[in-house]
Chain A
């Protein structure tokens, strides 16, 4: 972050306002946090975590599940579930048209993808929010798919893992969206009563209705490093209290300190950590876990040839170090 950005009040500063990457799509990419120019295959191999500054870049729902589940035996669930425009909501555009545009640009029917499969051989039902679809907002289709996935987990006595990334309840479905909070919370409560584990993984960002329902109701709440999560957005709070928010407010580290989450887990360790936790919760046998190494796709070489015109050599080993502290 530049010195100029540092002196701006945090409400003014936001990821969206950071200057867009000037690097063309292709082999090279730029980290939005540290501005490092990165070799895309390096970034991909590191699960979209910046090898330089450890920034966890936002990833799509399918990529998330793809890096989480075992390659064999995956099955997408409730893929046909479509959003419904019950209110015929219309502002500057029709909600129906906004939905069609989002479906076209993301290739998803709505903002949640559900799959059943295994992690390290243990059966699991997983759902992941697609933030690129309407900011991962929860309307009928998201609430319904989450609920069905949770019901599937209940029926099969198999854990549920949810990766959330959401701006909150979807405004265009008004109170129907609000009621999805009640619906998803109710099914989670049934899991709790039945003793079927639910792990909620919060990824940047989670706000509003999703935060005040399914995201914070995990038997175990996990967050990725530096993820933002809260009920009200920072701008709303700053407008209400008319003062600047403290450093690191609503970041994962804050949530951990305040007791809202159990642990912060690095993306490259997510799979092994959750597998280890679930095995204990399900009374499955302990497995010897090879940290990190197994997460690297088998075909990938352990080290890449630095491309000729590279500015900095790839520092893949950086992830072994302690993640750098945020500077804001």
Chain B
């Protein structure tokens, strides 16, 4: 099994291997081989389209957690320019599971805050696999309050397996740090646009996820409890995670239908990791249009709209 492809993508992986082999044996002017490669490429595209048009919610969770899925730090340099990272919560530490700083979005100064899982193993460890501790949420809060002072729109990129469930997290008040962010984000007098780029896990995701506009990438996922956790509680086994994912409706399509998510940003064929540049460009375009709409609105009106939207959840 090719680790760069998920289980349901293995037929695509096999085709890609064939294409690679042909490319290796084929000399420059070998017409037959080139034709064969073109046919296989075409076949691979159609197969990918077919497979991806039929993904179950659980498949989508797997794409969202794909080891090659682009993370915040893959997107930030592609979406923004002049990103200056800012560090620390001013009380305890700098939590590397959340990155933040001032950047420009096609010229507009903005505050960017994103959860970062880390790519290499050592980086994953230093970023705690994208599981923020209280200092991470407090850093985010500090940056958001700064953004309000300097009239910078806030953009958050959500991608976390959850807030860190550890002793130190609890000792320093992980619940309070998240709750405080929810409260302040509900009234922060600057536009807030949130995008779930990968895995939006429960309170840990929501802790930077309250705003005027919530978008999800097509194969991102957002849930109140991980499908494994839900399956463990109901069926006493995480093997029932696919059923749990189905029952909870963890996809952007379902969440848009429920009125929680405002927009879905289409992913390149085969998922964001197959074409990071294209994905970044689409996110950028979406952010520009949202930020411009919100910035044109009187602040009071924007805040009323945000509050009323919060109050409408579940109605």
Name A residues whose Cβ lies closer than 8 Å to a Cβ of B.
Answer: 84, 86-87, 89-92, 139-140, 143-144, 147, 169, 171, 173-183, 185-190, 192-193, 208-209, 211-217, 229-232, 236-237, 240-241, 245-246, 249-250, 258-260
The answer on a CB contact under 8 Å between B203 and A188 is no
> B183 is contacted by which of A217, A230, A240, A259 (Cβ under 8 Å)?
A217
- Please, which residue of chain A has its CB at the minimum distance from the CB of B222? A175
| Those 4 A-B pairs whose CB atoms lie nearest each other, nearest first | A232-B165, A140-B314, A186-B186, A185-B182
B82 at the A interface (CB under 8 A): no
- Give the total of B residues in contact with A, Cβ under 8 Å: 51
- Please, which residue of chain B has its CB at the minimum distance from the CB of A237? B165
The answer on a CB contact under 8 Å between B170 and A186 is no
> B224 is contacted by which of A90, A171, A189 (Cβ under 8 Å)?
A171
SS class, residues of chain B in contact with chain A: helix
The answer on a CB contact under 8 Å between A186 and B235 is no
B26 at the A interface (CB under 8 A): no
The answer on a CB contact under 8 Å between B183 and A178 is no
**Given A87-B248, A171-B225, residue A186 in contact with residue B314 (CB < 8 A):** no
SS class, residues of chain A in contact with chain B: helix
The answer on a CB contact under 8 Å between A90 and B247 is yes
Please name 12 further chain A to chain B contacts, defined as beta carbons within 8 Å, in addition to the given A87-B248, A208-B203, sorted by A numbering: A86-B314, A147-B311, A169-B202, A173-B314, A181-B179, A182-B209, A186-B307, A208-B202, A215-B175, A231-B175, A237-B165, A258-B171
What are 12 A-B pairs at a CB distance below 8 A? Answer: A144-B314, A171-B224, A175-B248, A182-B210, A186-B311, A214-B179, A215-B175, A231-B170, A231-B174, A232-B174, A241-B166, A258-B172
The answer on a CB contact under 8 Å between B179 and A230 is no
B154 at the A interface (CB under 8 A): no
Bound CA–CA A181/B180 (angstroms): 11
* A90 cross-chain contacts in B, Cβ below 8 A: 247
The answer on a CB contact under 8 Å between A216 and B249 is no
A65 to chain B, nearest CB (A): 24
The answer on a CB contact under 8 Å between B206 and A181 is yes
* A250 cross-chain contacts in B, Cβ below 8 A: 170
B229 to chain A, nearest CB (A): 8
The answer on a CB contact under 8 Å between A143 and B313 is yes
* A171 cross-chain contacts in B, Cβ below 8 A: 224-225, 230, 233-234, 248
Bound CA–CA A212/B235 (angstroms): 26
The answer on a CB contact under 8 Å between A182 and B314 is no
* B175 cross-chain contacts in A, Cβ below 8 A: 211-212, 215-216, 229-231, 260
B135 to chain A, nearest CB (A): 14
The answer on a CB contact under 8 Å between B235 and A91 is yes
- Please, which residue of chain B has its CB at the minimum distance from the CB of A236? B165
Bound CA–CA A185/B310 (angstroms): 10
Question: What string of 1s and 0s marks CB contacts (under 8 Å) between B99-121 and chain A?
Answer: 00000000000000000000000
**Given A169-B224, A186-B187, residue A176 in contact with residue B166 (CB < 8 A):** no
* A258 cross-chain contacts in B, Cβ below 8 A: 171-173
The answer on a CB contact under 8 Å between A86 and B230 is no
The answer on a CB contact under 8 Å between A212 and B313 is no
Bound CA–CA A180/B182 (angstroms): 11
* B183 cross-chain contacts in A, Cβ below 8 A: 185-186, 188-189, 192, 217
* B247 cross-chain contacts in A, Cβ below 8 A: 87, 89-91
The answer on a CB contact under 8 Å between A260 and B173 is yes
The answer on a CB contact under 8 Å between A181 and B314 is no
